[in-house]
Amino acid sequence: MSHLDIELQQLKTETIKMWTLVNLQLSKAKEALLKLDKDLAREVILGERRVNAWELKIDRDCENIFALFNPVAVDLRFVLAVLKINNNLERTGDIAESIAKFVLNVNTDFDKKLLEITRTVEMYDGALFMMEEVLEAFDKLDTALARKAFQQDEILDDINVKVNAVIADYIRNHPENIEPPLYLISVIRKLERVGDQAKNMAEEIIFYIEAKVLKHRSKAEKKKE
């Protein structure tokens, strides 16, 4: 292996470690939300420092590879993709932290019926699944697996679009319990953004492996590629 190959493999390993940490942050935030576990929520908030530290390290490593090795072709695409994935992961970590902060502000357990009709758990599970599946695509260099994210993101988008009417109806029927549904609608908005981040990372994987830029293509075009 050349020195560049060693550096690229190390960069991939670091990215997978950061990705795993971000997925763990999201999982903990979900548990904190459903159990109203404020201690776990604080753990997620503290864990954001590690995510930020990983982001800075990966950025520096990418800069060093550019400066020392001047990569070209597939190696260049890989480093460019990692730079963007790194940014997406940091933003996803921010989302986990924001959900944890919501938990600290809520004082009563969420109504199980409210969780069911808003499809919050379904959406959270879907977002986590996307993050894990796209990570696997990155690790295994599997563009077919990466492309599944485009279809899965549509499910999250559908829940997000429909939740306004569901929440409005719930508040009309439960005027004494306004705060929890408002927090949940904010959580769902953030989970929709997790889906967007996962989709963006899937696009970067395809760019790296196939040299195809899907960023500004329609969903139908992406499925045909």
**C-alpha span between 57 and 91 (Å, rounded):** 16
Encoded tokens for 3: 């020195």
Least confident of 20-34, 57-71, 88-102, 172-186: 172-186
pLDDT at 222 over 90: no
Each domain of the chain, given as residue ranges in start order, spans 3-224
pLDDT at 221 over 60: no
**C-alpha span between 56 and 153 (Å, rounded):** 28
Type of residue numbered 225: E
Give this prediction's pTM: 0.92
Distance from chain centroid for Cα 135: 10
- CATH homologous superfamily, domain 3-224: Phosphate transport system protein phou homolog 2; domain 2 (1.20.58.220)
What does the pLDDT average to over 43-59? 97
Q: How many CA atoms lie within 13 A of 1 on its CB side?
A: 8
**C-alpha span between 49 and 46 (Å, rounded):** 6
Mean pLDDT of the chain: 93
- DSSP alpha helix (H) spans, the chain: 3-35, 38-69, 73-105, 112-118, 120-140, 143-173, 179-210, 219-224
Query: Residue 106's pLDDT is what?
Result: 87
pLDDT-derived band at 5 (thresholds 50, 70, 90) equals: very high
Residue the block writes with tokens 């730079």: 83
141-169 pLDDT, tens per residue?
999 999 999 999 999 999 999 999 999 99
DSSP state of 108: S
What does the pLDDT average to over 17-36? 97
What does the pLDDT average to over 198-210? 97
Question: Please, is 50 exposed, middle or buried when counting C-beta atoms within 10 Å of its C-beta (0-12, 13-18, 19+)?
Answer: middle
Strand, coil or helix: 72: coil
**Of 127, 110, 99, the residue nearest 187 (C-alpha):** 99
The number of residues making up the chain comes to 225
Terminal C-alpha separation, the chain: 33
**Of 223, 173, 204, the residue nearest 85 (C-alpha):** 204
pLDDT at 108 over 90: no
CB 188 within 8 A of CB 123: yes
**C-alpha span between 184 and 163 (Å, rounded):** 9
CB 160 within 8 A of CB 189: yes
Query: Residue 86's pLDDT is what?
Result: 98
Distance from chain centroid for Cα 137: 14
169-191 pLDDT, tens per residue?
999 998 888 888 889 999 999 99
